[in-house]
Chain A
């Protein structure tokens, strides 16, 4: 899901929200220095957020030769789209094959029926979201649902009467997004079961990711989809069982890998895009055209159909990897942006190949939703991503100063790695997908698309004026997620529905983990961080890791135990803030006391740098554990500047102003701001009150 709007909204909220007070500064004189030699654990005995343990080594990804993933589940489907007004539904059949991956018999199956989130106002999704998601509002006449019309075993046993809705997360009996089916004969370990099902998916008006807008259809989360059966030891589980959560306002995906073989029938004049490779098309006996798609080693299948797409194609060849056919499906009125879609997709592919690992699939499809369907924009599905000109209105400008479209495409493509291949559990550990994706943006975007300007004055739907504000990387703004008002609300890791509202989810899934990873990079260095990310991807692709698995990789690659860092940054509500408290000259001793302080309750090792009048430098190393540390150094040459983080500031540090100390306060900077304010006042006064 795309960050741009979310981040900006959160930024505004962060600045406007009632701001909680920062910790009182310790007394400012050296005479009253209080040393706190206690270990940091003793400073703050609050318990850490509980998280799943590391995965049992037996559950590292299994790879059969010729297969990328452990194919637990497979779907062979036939689906027909009826786009006529008042119908707007998909009628489907599927043969589902599931293998019991555990060493004990399994007596029931659990399914996601996501579309029932849009059934009425009482679903958990609607109750939690209040009918609003990512700035879009659920239209009153736009309800949708999914009905399973038949379900039988291959032997012909009718299972439909046994289907019952369950609510494992919140007990909301009105919620029908998860169903269970008890089996007469349990599935033995390693054995497979085949089910034949048929279903009717009434598509909602696009509000949250899926549905229709006019003749544009984005069909996601649309079929009865099996949950994940997790054996003991997988993802640190202490008992075996289904992992099948309800559809929450702020939850995305988690599913098993397998093979999808899907035939989609649509009216002749519709263009289709879907997960996987197109094997062929043929006229359907019932009218329309049937397209046949197939993709192995993915955990979902989504598709789109529209009679207004223009299509662009490009084959991307990268040495050492198989060719990727990139397809862009763009609204006809946005045809001018076809090349931008293709370029952005290609650049993203190349960046990830060079920096994270190869993209193993043969296709990538990039979709531009109809403008009324922008709720489907900025989303990721296996080998299929959506961007959207409507959500990035600058994209329609002929001169592109602000590459918002490209940023969204890069973001959604990044998900191919963290959501698509690594496939962490976004219900339970949302940071592992959106957070690492946001961090990938921090790494990739500055080089690929350095944003120049982003402040536009729009009038009547036209961008009239591009204000000359340099647009700092979004990443710089993400430091707001380190503020007390965010951090003190609770640990970064939580279930996606456990945070307080959309803001709590948004800030903890996107910018906060991104700055926590950036701060880790400051701690271990760029090269080590690069290896951590590459190793994590390589080890855990197609593997469903836990947060702890990521932490373990980081400790292993860096060669040092980093658990203390992850415990603070990911599992606690500790605030990081170090600063220079003061620099005091002791004339008689001919020395200077440089006093560094730990303002927050998180601990981070410090290598502060002192710069003297002659340009010479020295480093003051401190483990950061005590409340303060006084360094007594020679008085001359005069100390001109002290930098707490000379090698780059960890963005987790909540307050940057105290990160540096200068002998004199610069006057020109504040003077520029003040005189500009004065001038702005004069111009505005003349504009508004200029008439005598």
Chain B
């Protein structure tokens, strides 16, 4: 199959899953005729009709809450929140209702539901349209968290997410939408909790997610020019977390850099670093390094935004630091 974009991969997957499961419903803002502001749902209303592709008023709480109610009563649902920055508008429905429903009911309630959303900066969209909030959801037991880094993974992971009987936060990145990748013919699913080693290396482990995988790979190529072999791990899912993959790599390299675009403070790197020191303290030759955004909202102006969001240079610098070089 020729190369397709991230957006096309998502669209194709939604379409196939809707054909496969006649109850599957999509719900979200402007997802009908308009096809979503990133074009992910283009054509789906025409194909599946207004009961299965529900374009809503601007009502994030009701989108999530009604997706939950539908999911609990037999309608597998993919709810879309246009920006992850709007999840706080629906926070009660996500945190207090959706995430806890199975547990609170003693396992009686089944919640086959995906919340598709997108995050990230780099486009001058300023403080309320550029955040990376995955760590908020990592802190809430009861939500699976998926963060695909390329079109191939997006497809395999979205299939798994849709078929899962639990709530899944499926977090895309706006800078990935136009990126291309090749996808094999035929169906494939990528199981949750399986990290992907994107590059082998013996000197330092770089753990990354989402768009930062691309940036980490560029940094690794630069490090290679200086004779440093970095191993780059794409976590793909945060919940469940493939900690074994991290552990194995750390045992070989003895040095780790964790990279994410969200704030360093309280970011996913903090959790992973804590687990590493609990499980592999004796293997470490240097303190675990974290690369993440500065602890401020994302500013509009380009030089400020660039200063806040981590880049290749930051990763290279962190890798050298844990290697005590430069």
Decide whether A and B assemble into one complex: no
> Interface of B with A (CB < 8 Å)?
none
> Interface of A with B (CB < 8 Å)?
none
